């Protein structure tokens, strides 16, 4: 559970820093056009912060983090997300500074997306058994205490 919390907090910090960087970097270069920097802030907050807050709640309920599959999901997903965001930042900086963007940057970003997708698949695999067990053995409904 701690890993999901620290990942969510770290991605919140990174997302806020990237939003600030986007605003200040484009302003300092008098850049008004579209670039990959525009989406880094929201990508990190949605795929990092919000996703790991959801993971945190599911981990609290199903104790997901006690499995090796969770560890594989956690590191795979984070590697893919950080690789994707790093390439978005690199692409955006090159665009704003009016440099040629190598197709390799898009290819590496695509690789990051593939790794994120593998991480999501691992997460669903990690969630499957506890969810099916809970569906087969539902908890009895809690009734309010009689007054």
Mean pLDDT value across residues 74-99: 97
pLDDT above 80 for 146: no
Task: For residue range 87-145, list pLDDT tens digits in order.
Answer: 999 999 999 999 999 999 999 999 999 999 999 999 999 999 999 998 888 877 677 76
Domain residue spans of the chain: 2-136
pLDDT above 80 for 62: yes
3 state SS for the chain: CHHHHHHHHHHHHHHHHHHHHHHHHHHHCCCCCCCCHHHHHHHHHHHHHHHHHHHHHHHHHHCHHHCHHHHHHHHHHHHHHHHHHHHHHHHHHHHHCCCCCCHHHHHHHHHHHHHHHHHHHHHHHHHHHHHHHHHHCCCCCCCCCCC
């Amino acid at each position: 559970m701690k890993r999901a919390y620290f990942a969510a907090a770290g991605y919140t910090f990174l997302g806020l820093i990237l939003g600030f960087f986007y605003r200040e970097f484009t302003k300092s270069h008098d850049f008004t056009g579209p670039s990959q920097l525009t989406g880094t802030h929201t990508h990190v907050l949605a795929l990092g912060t919000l996703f790991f807050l959801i993971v945190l709640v599911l981990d609290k309920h199903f104790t997901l983090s006690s499995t090796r599959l969770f560890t594989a999901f956690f590191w795979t997903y984070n590697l893919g997300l950080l690789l994707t965001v790093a390439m978005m930042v690199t692409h955006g900086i090159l665009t704003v500074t009016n440099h040629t963007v190598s197709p390799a940057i898009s290819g590496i970003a695509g690789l990051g997306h593939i790794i994120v997708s593998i991480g999501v698949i691992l997460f669903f695999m990690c969630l499957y058994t506890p969810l099916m067990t809970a569906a087969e053995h539902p908890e009895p409904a809690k009734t309010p205490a009689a007054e």
